[in-house]
Amino acid sequence: MNSEADIIIIGAGIWGLSTAYHLAREQTGRSIVVVERNAAVADETTRQAAGQIGQLRRDPLMASAVGYTLELLTGFKEATGHDPRLMLTGSLHLAQCDERMASFEEQLAHARALGIEAEIAEGVLIEQLAPAISLSEITGALYVPGDGYVDARACAHAYCNAARDLGVEIVLNTEVTDLRTCNDSVTGIETDRGPVVTGNVIATAGPWAGRLAAMAGLTLPMQPIRLQQARTTPDPGIPAHHPVVRIPDQSCYLRPEEGGYLFGIFDDDPMAIDPREMPASFATGDIKPAEDIIAGARQRLAPVFPVLEQLNIAQFRQGMITCTPDAGYVIGPAPSVEGLWFATGCGGMGIAGSGSVGRWLADSVLKGACRDDISPFLPSRFKDLDPDSLREACRRICSNYYALNSVTYSLS
């Protein structure tokens, strides 16, 4: 590792790697280094992500952010030679009550205003898309054909390899132990392999961003929350074109993976996790499977997908999503340290917004401003919220992710 760099990115998850790619794509001639504590990139929360990319968002900024990511990934292999493994199978939102179906009807107008193709799906179309669905258990459905999903780890590796091709250095097995500042400006980082001088640090460490902020005497308005998912053994009847399926009335989602079904749930009583209170070695793999939560999710899903009762669990998957009190990202400059930027608070939309997050950070660092107004995401917001209130507000956002009045999912 060199002893100095123009720009250092801390964290080689999908946001850090997208940022590296977008910075390098500007062909600025600057030296860009990504520092990662693990032995591989995308080895923490990114590899646990469901990778769903859904365009329908209440906030036009977020809808635009997802749209850019989809556009970027659709042409990524052709442009860079690296395949993000994007599957454009669409998404199917299932309603199990009249209120939910009414909200879907209202979302159609919102979708049209945003230029997103969507339609109410009838029984024949639903059977063609996802034949395992029991139609008697649903009131109706909303279909968004332009949605899709990625293998999150493969997508991150595509960003990584494209960035490397453009000259970005990826340094693995290197822990950042401190941020160096002078006169309220970044001057470098300390690592377990020695110091690196730089005037620009971008922290894209997800749930670990709080640790890095503390090094600069800052607190970020976010809270990591435990996420539980599972993948079943293969189902021979699953079609290759099977879409992402969201069942908001059960707080669950499902999509194909390795011939089976990957499914997850937004827990009614989510567990907050604070890496600042954990040993320095704490990693995603230290989170234990909550088999009772997965059993509850399968029980909720089984009436709609009876096939789940016939399939064993092939893999339990644990991770974290990082929530904020308003369900918005945390992206932007540190409020009191020149040359320091943060990006965290994925809120379950980390993969879907990865392209835009990388572009926003690159614009901010290189040009001093973004083409989009990301001021609602500034790290300085909620500065007066005490830690307990912050944690509980974030837990509510997570547990109500699919609620009819949700600020994340509901568009009505």
The predicted-structure confidence for 261-274, as pLDDT tens digits, reads as follows 999 999 999 999 99
pLDDT tens for each residue of 191-250: 999 999 999 999 999 999 999 999 999 999 999 999 999 999 999 999 999 999 999 999
pLDDT tens for each residue of 357-385: 999 999 999 999 998 999 999 999 998 89
Banded model confidence at residue 344, pLDDT cuts 50, 70, 90: very high
**What's the pLDDT at 411?**
44
**What's the pLDDT at 27?**
77
Query: Which is nearest to 357 in space by CA: 329, 380, 387?
Result: 329
Banded model confidence at residue 157, pLDDT cuts 50, 70, 90: very high
**What's the pLDDT at 170?**
98
- Mean pLDDT throughout 56-66? 94
**Burial class of residue 392 (count of CB atoms within 10 Å of its CB; 0-12, 13-18, 19+):** middle
Global pTM? 0.97
pLDDT above 70 covers a percentage of the chain that reads 99
Residue whose token pair is 């500034």: 378
**What's the pLDDT at 162?**
98
- Mean pLDDT throughout 135-160? 98
- Mean pLDDT throughout 317-325? 96
Q: How far apart are the first and last CA of the chain?
A: 51
**What's the pLDDT at 242?**
98
- Mean pLDDT throughout 148-169? 98
| Strand pairing report for 119-121 and 176-182 | unpaired
Helix axes 152-165, 354-367, angle to 10 degrees: 30
CA 394/CA 399 separation, integer angstroms: 9
Buried b (16+ CB within 10 A) or exposed e, 316-352: ebbbbbbbbbbbbbbbbbbeebebbbbbbbbbbbbbb
Banded model confidence at residue 77, pLDDT cuts 50, 70, 90: very high
- Mean pLDDT throughout 181-191? 97
Banded model confidence at residue 115, pLDDT cuts 50, 70, 90: very high
Average pLDDT score over the chain = 96
Helix axes 354-367, 60-74, angle to 10 degrees: 100
- Mean pLDDT throughout 107-134? 95
Question: Is 137 within 8 Å of 96 (Cβ atoms)?
Answer: yes
Radius of gyration over every alpha carbon of the chain, rounded to an integer in angstroms: 21
Token pair belonging to 239: 């079609």
pLDDT above 90 covers a percentage of the chain that reads 95
Banded model confidence at residue 1, pLDDT cuts 50, 70, 90: confident
Question: Residue 412 pLDDT > 60, yes or no?
Answer: no
CA 293/CA 254 separation, integer angstroms: 15
Domains of the chain plus CATH, in order, are 7-71+152-222+325-389 (3.50.50.60), 88-148+224-321 (3.30.9.10)
Type of residue at 368? G
